Amino acid sequence: MSLQSRSQLPIAIALAMTAAIGPFSLDAYLPAFPAMAADLGVGLDDISLSVSVYIFIMSLGQLVGGPLSDQLGRQKVVFVGLALFVIASLLIWQSERLETLLAFRALQAFGAGWALVAVPALVRDRVQGVEAARLFSLIGLIMMAAPAVSPSIGGALLAIGGWTFIFLFLALYALVVMTVLELIIFRPARRGEGATAAAPGPRMSLFKRYAAVLTTYRALPFLFWQAASFSVLMIFITHASFIYQSHYGASAHSFGLLFGANVIIMLLANFINRTQLERFGSRPILRTATMVQALGIVALIVITLFDGGLWLFLPAMMLTIGMGGAIAPNNQAAFIEYFGVNSGTAAALLGASQFGIAGIASALSAQLPHAVLPILLAMALCSAVSLAMLALSLREER
């Protein structure tokens, strides 16, 4: 690891821990759904509603928190968001009815949105271009551990003290994140050792800030590029169980291995991206990864049309999904570098549009016939949007 990478590591760990609140909040309590349903006297579908509530309200929280972080400073918004998250988690810990759980889950998500939206903005406060892509990549590399370990942590806490212990853990985790951010991100900035991450920006209405972002036309291709690429992943996640277990007949144990194979390639793509940024630059790597993803989807369609087996299908899917490890950090860096004053607002729009558009794409894909080819064609449509944004970005640079 280079000296520069070592100097970025504490910052990357602090910001990755903050970003990990998202997957921890979504994945850690998944093993507890049956226990929660039995304890609260409701069905599994009622408990599943808490996931939809969380994603929707988190996006709303990002849209509000981003402009506020530009106006009031990052630290105030992040810490208020984390405080709301802690309070809501403790209230869920004591919940005995579905209605109160959903209400406090909404409050928890709103606070999480305020905290999560600051992560890209805090990167932009410090570095730009290749350095931003490198830092986003390092954050992503650390972040990938969160969704991998969250269900295991949730299962262990469920066994120790029941489902409510999972939300007590989330409250304690957020308190640890607050401490780490204070020590690594905000205290050095106040002493003048880093960028003015906590400094308030110029006063401007929320609508003017969003108008300023949306009229920065050269940045917009990267906004839709990110949403389209993320939609490819979300459509796969929505249908992964059907593809591998129903269509290819994999067991529950094998499904975990098949699904995890994608994470390995994402990690590899992320690592290669970090090592090659200095040589090739962020945007050329982004374009290459996007084209490789498109070729992977074409290969999947051909394999499916000719009834290829699982061991042909799997490598093509690994390549398709794995490219997200190189696409996401470079796309974030390319988009956010256009915004100095309104980087928090830009980050909010990027996060909310990514989850919102991908969520809609995923929901629409759930209405498709139960067959592999229509699913792949939906992924291909999203990939085509990514390629269109690639072409548009090239034209904007001329």
The answer to whether position 155 is within a domain reads yes
Q: Are the C-beta atoms of 346 and 339 separated by less than 8 Å?
A: yes
Q: Considering 172, 202, 232, which residue would you say is the last residue of a domain?
A: 202
- pLDDT number for residue 199: 53
Q: How confident is the model at residue 237 (pLDDT cuts 50, 70, 90)?
A: confident
Task: Looking at the structure, tell me whether residues 60 and 158 fall in a common domain.
Answer: yes
Q: Where are the alpha helices (DSSP H) in the chain?
A: 3-19, 21-27, 33-40, 44-72, 74-93, 98-116, 118-126, 129-143, 145-161, 164-181, 187-190, 206-214, 220-241, 252-280, 282-305, 310-322, 324-336, 343-365, 372-397
The answer to whether position 90 is within a domain reads yes
What global pTM score does this model have?
0.76
Q: Is pLDDT at 3 greater than 50 in this prediction?
A: no
Q: Are the C-beta atoms of 63 and 348 separated by less than 8 Å?
A: yes
- pLDDT number for residue 103: 94
How close are the terminal C-alpha atoms of the chain, in Å? 36
Task: Looking at the structure, tell me whether residues 175 and 223 fall in a common domain.
Answer: no
Q: Considering 182, 202, 222, which residue would you say is the last residue of a domain?
A: 202
Task: Looking at the structure, tell me whether residues 169 and 190 fall in a common domain.
Answer: yes
Task: Looking at the structure, tell me whether residues 181 and 229 fall in a common domain.
Answer: no
Task: Looking at the structure, tell me whether residues 141 and 38 fall in a common domain.
Answer: yes
The 10s digit of each residue's pLDDT in 344-354 is 888 888 888 88
Q: For position 289, which CATH number holds?
A: 1.20.1250.20
Task: Looking at the structure, tell me whether residues 196 and 270 fall in a common domain.
Answer: no
The Cα 276–Cα 266 span in angstroms is: 15
Share of the chain above pLDDT 70, in %: 93
Lookup: tokens for 11: 């910052």
Work out how many domains the chain is built from and give that number. Answer: 2
Task: Looking at the structure, tell me whether residues 198 and 234 fall in a common domain.
Answer: no
Q: Are the C-beta atoms of 183 and 75 separated by less than 8 Å?
A: no
Which DSSP symbol is given to 32? Answer: G
| Residue numbers of the domain that contains 381 | 214-397
The answer to whether position 207 is within a domain reads no
Task: Looking at the structure, tell me whether residues 154 and 218 fall in a common domain.
Answer: no
Q: Are the C-beta atoms of 18 and 116 separated by less than 8 Å?
A: yes
Task: Looking at the structure, tell me whether residues 300 and 252 fall in a common domain.
Answer: yes
The answer to whether position 344 is within a domain reads yes
Q: Is pLDDT at 2 greater than 90 in this prediction?
A: no
Q: Considering 181, 202, 223, which residue would you say is the last residue of a domain?
A: 202
Task: Looking at the structure, tell me whether residues 119 and 37 fall in a common domain.
Answer: yes
Task: Looking at the structure, tell me whether residues 245 and 119 fall in a common domain.
Answer: no
- pLDDT number for residue 190: 60
The Cα 189–Cα 199 span in angstroms is: 9
- SS3 call for 309: coil
The answer to whether position 208 is within a domain reads no
What residues have CB less than 8 Å from 129, skipping those under 6 apart? 282, 333, 337
Task: Looking at the structure, tell me whether residues 98 and 241 fall in a common domain.
Answer: no
